């Protein structure tokens, strides 16, 4: 694709050689003459002159005294992501049901669906148009999959789960397993029946080996456009808001509520019935205590989680502890000398 064509497709302005052919995308420090990269940070800006990339996507006000071939965008990272999708399209696929797939007689299969080897579709389930299901995935009974979903290999969806349109589920996902509910009866635990549902709204993406448990009663709900990284656990009766981003190895205990557009870092642990309000930010390894409320827009860090400014002050104090220990020892020595005199 020529630079001119790519810029037009991005609805962006370009400078330099619009006829230059771009065949792929690569990191700034590795891109060659026929590849595209982008400048999205101060560090990247310092590498601009040294990069051999044939074309660079840069901010609108980025200086270009050497007249290099660039495309200007308000958000270079976003424009680059869109361009990568255009330069590296997904391989074509042929709709159809593999001979080894097992589909219940009363399951409804929409047009253009692809079911890979050894896929199982249970009684009463409905698979929307253009859905692709990878090998060895299991879809339980009375499951609804909206249009144009993508399930990679080895996804498991238990009974009575509702999945919206354009949802992506990566390998190893498990939706609708029993929540962790037990009641101590004497000296043994009795299982609390988990009879609720899981509802996944449109445009959600859930990473590899994530688990979303069904509600004990009611619904475990993941809102439109939410993105879960690999190995995230969502317990029973959680409600994850729209366009929430969750990094890897985070765990939500039962009944947690997360507001829209919250950002949650990796390895965060959230206690049961905590509430994270909209646009709050939880830094990596945050520990959120049970029933705690994180207010809208707050940025928290640490274990237990504290406002970022307070957390940084505590880290600074901890760093001074060895010095303070020496100072205290010296003071004790001087006091002892004074007392002896």
- Catalytically active residues, by annotation: 236
Classify strands 156-157 and 138-139 as parallel, antiparallel or unpaired: parallel
C-alpha span between 5 and 260 (Å, rounded): 36
333: three-class secondary structure by DSSP: helix
Q: Can you read off the two tokens belonging to residue 281?
A: 């930010």
Task: Count Cβ atoms within 10 A of the Cβ of residue 338 and give its class: 0-12 exposed, 13-18 middle, 19 or more buried.
Answer: exposed
Q: What are the CA-CA distances from residue 89 to residues 6, 24, 32, 174, 209 (Å)?
A: 14, 11, 20, 28, 25
Name the token pair of 88: 């590296």
Pairing label, strands 306-307, 299-301: antiparallel
**The dihedral sign for the CA sequence 278, 284, 290, 294:** negative
DSSP state of 92: P
Copy the structure tokens of residue 168: 């992506």
Q: Are 285 and 322 in contact (CB under 8 A)?
A: no
């Amino acid at each position: 694709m020529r630079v001119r064509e790519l810029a037009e497709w991005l609805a962006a302005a370009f400078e330099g050689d619009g006829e230059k052919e771009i065949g792929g995308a690569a990191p700034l420090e590795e891109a060659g003459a026929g590849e595209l990269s982008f400048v999205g940070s101060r560090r990247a800006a310092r590498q601009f002159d040294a990069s051999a990339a044939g074309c660079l996507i840069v901010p609108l006000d980025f200086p270009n005294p050497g007249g290099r071939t660039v495309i200007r965008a308000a958000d270079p990272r976003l424009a680059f992501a869109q361009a990568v999708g255009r330069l590296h399209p997904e391989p074509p696929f042929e709709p159809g049901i593999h001979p080894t797939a097992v589909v219940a007689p009363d399951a409804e299969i929409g047009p253009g669906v692809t079911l890979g080897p050894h896929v199982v579709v249970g009684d009463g389930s409905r698979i929307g148009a253009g859905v692709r299901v990878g090998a060895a995935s299991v879809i339980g009974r009375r499951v609804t999959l909206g249009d144009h979903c993508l399930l990679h290999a080895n996804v498991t969806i238990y009974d009575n789960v509702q999945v919206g349109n354009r949802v992506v589920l990566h390998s190893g996902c498990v939706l609708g397993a029993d929540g962790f509910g037990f009641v101590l009866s004497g000296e043994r635990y009795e299982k609390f029946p988990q009879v609720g549902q899981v509802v996944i709204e449109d445009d959600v993406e859930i990473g590899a080996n994530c688990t979303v448990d069904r509600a004990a009663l009611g619904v475990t709900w993941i809102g439109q456009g939410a993105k879960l990284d690999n190995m995230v656990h969502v317990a029973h009766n959680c409600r994850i808001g729209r366009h929430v981003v969750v990094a890897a190895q985070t765990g939500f205990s039962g009944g947690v509520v997360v507001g829209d557009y919250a950002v949650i870092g990796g390895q965060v642990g959230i206690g049961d019935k905590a509430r994270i309000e909209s646009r709050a930010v939880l830094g990596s390894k945050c520990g959120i205590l049970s029933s705690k409320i994180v207010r809208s827009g707050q940025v928290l860090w640490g274990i237990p989680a504290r406002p970022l400014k307070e957390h940084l002050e505590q880290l600074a104090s901890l760093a001074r502890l060895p010095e303070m220990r020496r100072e205290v020892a010296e003071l004790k020595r001087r006091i002892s000398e004074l007392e002896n005199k």
